[in-house]
Chains A and B, each alone.
Chain A
Amino acid sequence: MERRSFIKLLGLCSILLPGSLRELFAAQGPVVAVSQGSDHAAAARKAIAALGGMPRFVKAGQTVVVKPNIGWDRAPEFAATTNPAVVKALVEECLKAGAKKVKVFDRTCNDARRCYASSGIEAALKGMKNVEVKHLEEERFKKLALNGKALKDCELYGEAISADVYINVPVAKHHGLSRLTLGMKNVMGIMGGNRGSIHKNLDQALADVNSHFKPQLTVIDATRILTAHGPQGGNLADVKVLNQVIASTDMVAADAYATTLFGLKPSDIAVTRTAYQRGLGEMNLDRIRVVKA
């Protein structure tokens, strides 16, 4: 090789180097812990343990919100609401990590009393000390300026905003408009006002809200998933039992992995794609480190 061409090559390399260096030394892609087991509470615990255990997220004396999906008046086996065993295991882990108080709530679509009862979540957490399972009270919604692409502002639930730790616990299921509803869409359960109106630009609107309000941890309940007629289902033929729990600090990565359970690609889901494009998290599966627990 001639000296001149060597220098040229060196020069070219020096241009490319920063990029490759970044790839080499930058923090590795997000970790998504995936656990499996027919004991759903144990599966949830294993997934959290694989991320370093609940003490990584919850410190003594903190107030924690565990936000499941309690949106519909359906029994747990219909996969329209989050598995109460998973919710309970997470709440117990939070308490074990020293949480002062754990609050569990959701803005329901059907009657709140029936949803809380039918989902089994109210009963599962009944009588636990320092655990609150309350219906939402409209005066607690706070208006936040978002200045996003689709939403200028939105109302979010005060107790969710003021919590020290917010754990997002959606159930993985089909949705008529967004195809799937996962971690990103679960934020709608703490949104006030006319939620339906954000459907006209759902992916951007959800990215707006989620870029402003970020859960510390997302745990997707895929113990059983609803594959059609979502988001409320009602037919066991549409339910597939997978016995999986997915956990990650990167909500988009968790959603991306969960998408594969339905035989879809993360980029098929506009909500996930937009979130990735707007830098909310990783969607490329080859850049996500999946830890089987």
Chain B
Amino acid sequence: MKLPRTPRISQLFFLLLFLILFLMTEYRGSDRIVAAVNGFFRADPLTAVSSMLAVKGYLPLLFPGLLVLALSLILGRFFCGWICPLGTLLDLATGRIGKLGPVRALQGSAKYWLLFPLLFASLFGLNLAGLFDPIAILLRALTFFFHPLLGETARGGWKSLYGLIGDRRDFLDPGYHLLRDYLLPFRETLYPLAFLSALLFFLVLFLERYEKRCWCRRLCPLGTLLGLVSRFGPLRRVPAKLCPDCRACREHCPTSFDRELLQMDECILCLQCALNCPSQRVCFDFRGMRPEAGPVMERRVLLGGLLGGFVLARTFRFREPEAKARMLRPPGVRAEGEFLEKCVRCGECMKVCLRSALYPALLQAGPEALYTPVLVPRLGYCEYNCTLCGQVCPTGAIPDLAVGAKRREVIGKAVFDKNHCLPFAKRVDCIVCEEHCPIPQKAIRSELVELTGFQGEKLQVKQPYVVSELCNGCGICENVCPLEAKSAIEVFAVKDRTPLPPPADAPSAPAPPSQPGGAPPDPYGR
């Protein structure tokens, strides 16, 4: 067996890291998440550039991305050949895929036609780069498709095992619990864009049918951006051209040696040519003469990109009012515009959401908001004491708030529908919403009302009402409403998302006992 060589070791390491971080992007018994897959996005130059263009300012969280970009100026596209987990997957799979040869349409400046409209759209305030970011493509495929599929399958099997052998299944508990605690998603969640996410991933994989690393070389906006930068760097392969007596590099190079001259903006530094050179002539150094590389691109690509970006940013804004009223954003998001500028649509918040309350928007928020997170209270609510989505958001589109501050953030406001609500419509008791309202002073309250029943009898019924000033729109009321199908209380979006006032009389946590001579023993045995 051949041992993996340097770039492959690095690739496997980062792929493994990516998968481990993916699994760690989940509640594991602690209020804070130690490490999440957001690190990959913070080190992603495309995320950094597009987000900073969109907000037109510096985002400290994305500094690592700028660092990688600066390193690429010196080292070239090392990210693609050594780090990118999607690239690694392609490298691992490509050996099993027969090649048909390059596609004409993807040659030339196709990649710039993808990158530039995206970057210019960012400049005009619409940050769509995440849709085609390779790491986001991989993460969304994992989050929305592969992981739920794994969970569904494993749990389905586990459940049917119970049907077969009943309580004797308990003997297998330890093994299953290991699987459940470390590998499976906590609950089976179906996501609306699972199909599209998988499709995009398989499309990238399918391109391997034409040539090695076809996506990376011909389309990937991240790779194209890094390639643009690396053109101007000092790193050169020696010799720059194919040697007339050998030409083996053509076979080994996954990217650009189908021409005579190695294109540094396509070279991913996989070192295959150096490692496989029969006469060991190939090396990479920083002194090499700058070879003639041809024009970066035509002017019309740049202008076309500018126009494309402008059109994208201006025409994708349509929203239906009914859908807009239900556009509930994660806690801490106060302004829709700023959110769209920063959100990279990576799907991490939806993966981590404790109650599976966040779902990727399809078209209800207009095409511009595709894949951005929307809270759907009927499916899951925002857990009062949970701050995970803000913790994992790579760009701070969802702010990372302390739990006390997050509880006061307004997602929307709850409104009763008295035509459905049992105490009004059927004149019976219910109050499940009040029971679940997490606000200590209760944003849902009830009043005891004397009514005449439908048979003419005297009744006393508790009828609920919302105290809007206290409601943070967490949606638990809508989630637990015992009516089938439509809930009798619904959370609607509000423009003014000023946080609730701090509870003056309700300390969020008890003051720790401070007594001289040591604290008294904890009565709750902790």
| Contact surface of A with B, Cβ cutoff 8 Å | 38-41, 73, 75-77, 83-85, 88, 109-111, 113-114, 117-118, 120, 123-124, 137-140, 158-159, 162, 175-177, 194-197, 199-202, 223, 229, 231-238
Contacts and interface: CB of A to CB of B under 8 A. Distances in A.
Interface string B244-264: 000000000000000000000
Contact of B524 (A85, A110, A231, A233): A85
Among A109, A110, A120, A194, chain B packs the most CB atoms within 10 A around the CB of: A110
B482 A199 contact: yes
B441 interface: yes
A200 B430 contact: yes
A199 B525 contact: no
Contact of A88 (B29, B355, B505, B525): B525
Interface stretch (B159-167, B195-203, B300-308, B363-371): B159-167
A254 to B, nearest CB: 22
A199 B429 CA distance: 6
B446 interface: yes
A202 B509 CA distance: 33
Query: Which 9 pairs between the two chains have the least Cβ-Cβ distance?
Result: A196-B482, A234-B440, A196-B432, A200-B428, A235-B440, A85-B525, A76-B524, A235-B506, A197-B482
Contacts of A201: 428-429
Nearest to A87: B525
B424 interface: no
A219 to B, nearest CB: 16
B465 interface: no
A136 B355 CA distance: 16
A223 B523 CA distance: 9
Among B27, B162, B386, B440, chain A packs the most CB atoms within 10 A around the CB of: B440
Contact of A200 (B159, B422, B510): B422
Nearest to B505: A237
A253 to B, nearest CB: 26
Contact of B525 (A84, A114, A235, A238): A84
A202 B429 contact: yes
B481 interface: yes
A199 B431 contact: yes
Interface string B362-399: 00000000000000000000011110000000000000
A123 B431 contact: no
A77 B430 CA distance: 28
A196 B478 CA distance: 12
B439 interface: yes
Contacts of B354: 111, 113-114
Contacts of B523: 38-40, 83, 85, 223
B385 A73 contact: yes
Nearest to A203: B429
B510 A232 contact: no
Given A124-B526, A177-B435, A200 B440 contact: no
B442 interface: yes
Interface residues of B, number: 43
Contacts of A197: 482
B8 interface: no
Given A73-B384, A177-B434, A229-B440, 9 more contacts: A73-B385, A85-B523, A162-B167, A196-B482, A197-B482, A199-B482, A200-B429, A231-B435, A236-B510
B493 to A, nearest CB: 24
Given A139-B159, A176-B446, A118 B525 contact: no
A236 B524 contact: no
A154 B429 CA distance: 19
Among A39, A85, A109, A111, chain B packs the most CB atoms within 10 A around the CB of: A111
Interface in B14-45: 27, 29
Interface in B435-479: 435-436, 438-442, 446, 462
A236 B507 contact: yes
Contacts of B526: 76, 84, 120, 123-124
A186 to B, nearest CB: 14
B63 interface: no
B291 interface: no
Nearest to A40: B523
29 contacts: A38-B523, A40-B525, A75-B510, A76-B526, A84-B525, A85-B523, A85-B525, A110-B383, A111-B383, A111-B386, A120-B525, A120-B526, A124-B524, A175-B435, A176-B446, A177-B434, A177-B435, A195-B482, A196-B481, A199-B429, A199-B430, A199-B431, A229-B442, A232-B438, A233-B440, A235-B441, A236-B510, A237-B505, A238-B440
B480 interface: yes
Contacts of A118: 385
